[in-house]
Structure 1
Amino acid sequence: MMILRGYSEEFVGVDVDALTFDAWDLVTTPGFWPAHLGDVVDDEELLAEAWGVDEDTVRATYQRLSSSAAWPVFAVDLGGGARLAAVWRNYDEDAAMDFLIVPAGEQDCILLATVGGNHVGPGISWAELAGLAERAERAGLAERAELAGLADRQPDPLRRAHVLLVFLPMMADEKASSKKAAKQVRKALKATGASGDLDELVEWLVSENACFGPVPWGRADGGTTICEDVSSPRSPGGSAALEPASLRLVSDLLTLSG
């Protein structure tokens, strides 16, 4: 169960907080990654082949993830009690995947992006996503070192890969087409079991997102990171634009994640 203040109340007749659960254990389920990435990679066969599973397995896993009986949530710590969450919004009348900032304290959740259905976004830049994954790797290292009496200081590339790929569907950024970004995504795919010729899949993920095209990101006066695509909540000039204070909060939290 996860309290998603200001978000849960949007869904009439559904106790969202009671339906949500920590879903990180599901990332090892056969067919998970093809199912999770299916909205942004418009090639089911390509996804299934990359992880060596048949399409029936992918569909079965998708049905599990998208069942209205529960809403899987993948959350990572952003520091100070704030979190970034990917929510499988399994609302019968309007299913999709939402990406939220869950602020500390009593503040309402902030919607960054929606993938699937009436998509909204993008919600994160490549630099922010890469920083988030790096921070997750460092956190995993610290946790294992503590459990091992500071003896285990090896990096945690699998945790880094999981975070990168879970939140990648809301990313679209012109800079993600760089060789460095492609290399990091390829490494994450391989860490999660993908194999074979991954060039086409990497291309989909870094620059051909089926929901969002490559877009520029920049800085507003004061240093707030903003998206220059007006369909993004992080674009000050867009119809779905966040309030200036929320734009700044999101920018600060995601910048600190790097």
Structure 2
Amino acid sequence: MLITGFEDHPLVDGSYLLDDPVFWAIHVLQIGVIGLTDIEEAFGVDIVYAEELEDQVFDHDHWPVFSVPLRSTGNIHIVYRNLVGDMGLDYVLTHPNLPDDFGLASIVADFIGPGMSWPELITIAHQPPTADDRTLLDAAGRLLILLPALGDTDLPDTAVPTVAAALSELTTSPDPNHIAEILLRNDKAYWQPATWDQLSNGATVCDEPRSRRYGIPWECATDQDVTVTRALTGT
């Protein structure tokens, strides 16, 4: 697998982790919210096993990668960038109409994001599986793997129960509704939830300056902004 910026790094297929409820607990905690410091209590997992799995997920010599094929023929690659001294979680969009791979979001020391709005996340989560989609076949998996890249002030009433349903399906949390509420409603540790606007040319931009999709509603979006929006929405 070739992803711009990762050509010389030890990327490995992370799909072997997707059936493990403890992985999903570890993954959603990358959101960095306050109030979920006890993984054992929040997700009902064995702490010793969770620590062992964390060693695999954050192994400096093996960087798990997960890929979500998009209906638009693009892909979002989720990379656990386990670089010594520069650990992070990167969301990279690849698409034939983009000249270079596009970094949607990065959860690192200098945070970049958010990468997508709630409608975009839901569209991707509920898209029909593609012929190449062999690792994240279900909506719950796509929803949770992409959730750390979300940042949206305008969440519908259905957001918490939707995330709770995914948590209930993929984790052993004794109270998925409470966990979903914390994940979605608490302020993020790395960027503030953004307001998203659709411009007249169809591009969707947000008001968070840390986002690579930052834009001002009355300004013209670039061709790249339009392509990214169409890639995520399948339009």
TM-score, reference length from structure 1 = 0.79
> Residues of 1 paired with 2:98 and 2:62: CA distance?
24
- The alpha-carbon deviation at position 165 of structure 1 amounts to 0.3
Partner of 2:77: 85
Give the 4+ runs in structure 1 shifted more than 6 A.
Answer: none
Instruction: State the SS of the aligned residue for 1:113.
Output: strand
126, 129, 154: which one aligns with 1:139 = 129
For structure 2, the 5+ residue unaligned runs are none
1:82 deviates by 1.6
> What do the CA deviations read for 1:109-151 (whole angstroms, capped 9, x no partner)?
100111143221100100000110001xx217x899xxxxxxx
Q: CA RMSD in A?
A: 2.5
Aligned to 1:48: 40
Answering whether residue 190 of structure 2 is matched by residue 211 of structure 1, we say yes
Determine if contact 2:160/2:180 at 8 Å carries over to the other structure: yes
Task: Answer yes or no: is 1:68 the counterpart of 2:68.
Answer: no
For normalisation by structure 2, the TM-score amounts to 0.86
Partner of 2:231: 253
Residue 216 (structure 2) pairs with residue 225 (structure 1):
no
Amino acid at match of 2:6: S
Q: Distance in 2 between matches of 1:74 and 1:3?
A: 13
What is the number of residues matched between the two proteins? 226
Larger relative contact order (Cα-Cα within 8 Å, sequence gap ≥ 6) = 2
- After the TM superposition, which of the residue ranges 219-228 and 199-208 deviates more from structure 2? 199-208
Q: Give deviations 1:84-108, integer Å, cap 9, x for gaps.
A: 1111111113110000101227832
Aligned partner of 2:13 among 10, 22, 37:
22
Percent of residue pairs identical: 28
Q: Which whole-Å CA distance do the structure 1 matches of 2:225 and 2:185 have between them? A: 24
Q: Distance in 2 between matches of 1:89 and 1:161?
A: 23
Range with greater deviation from structure 2 (208-217 or 119-128): 208-217
- Give, in whole Å, the separation in 2 of the partners of 1:250 and 1:109: 11
Deviation at 1:29, TM superposition (A): 2.6
Distance 2:121 2:103 in 1: 16
Unaligned runs of 5+ in 1: 10-14, 145-156, 238-242
Displacement of 1:221 in angstroms is 3.1
